[in-house]
Amino acid sequence: MRGLFTPQRVLIAFACVAALVACCGLAWWQWQRFESASGTFQNLGYVLQWPLFGLFPLFMVWRFRRLARQRRDEELAPEPVAAAPRPVATVDAVKPAPVEYLDDEEDAELAAYNRMLANLNARDGR
């Protein structure tokens, strides 16, 4: 197992703490600006935003470590054996079912359209 306090880890921890301290200082500065006579609600928004910026490097370190652990676990896991594929069933050409056409005068146009579709389907099946 690697050492807990390697130079790289100490540097990363120092950078995370420095970012958090700097961003909390900026949040304090924005709070003072908000309380001043020229302060606006935009300054209050920054008060809430700066600490999140300071915590972001810590989140990224956590996320990178988690992804590295997942990658390491995937490399150590045995390769799963794939099941044999099932044979594909073949389908013979399907003949369209006979269509009963309506004899009403109102539906003559619909019947003609349905005949045209049946002819196109039969032609497509050949």
What local confidence, expressed as pLDDT, does residue 89 receive? 65
Q: Is the pTM of this model over 0.75?
A: no
The dihedral formed by the CA atoms of 17, 23, 25 and 28, expressed in degrees to the nearest 10: -140
- The conformation of residue 6, written as its DSSP 8-state character, comes to -
What local confidence, expressed as pLDDT, does residue 99 receive? 60
DSSP one-letter string for 11-48: HHHHHHHHHHHHHHHHHHHHHHHHHSTT--HHHHHHHH
Each residue's pLDDT, cut to its tens digit, for the chain (126 residues) gives 567 788 998 999 999 999 999 999 999 999 999 998 988 899 999 999 999 999 999 999 999 999 999 999 888 877 777 777 777 666 665 566 666 655 556 577 888 888 899 888 888 876
- The conformation of residue 77, written as its DSSP 8-state character, comes to S
Smallest Cα–Cα separation from 96: which of 62, 71, 124? 124
Cβ–Cβ < 8 Å for 94, 125? yes
CB-neighbour burial class of residue 54 (10 A; exposed 0-12, middle 13-18, buried 19+): buried
What local confidence, expressed as pLDDT, does residue 103 receive? 54
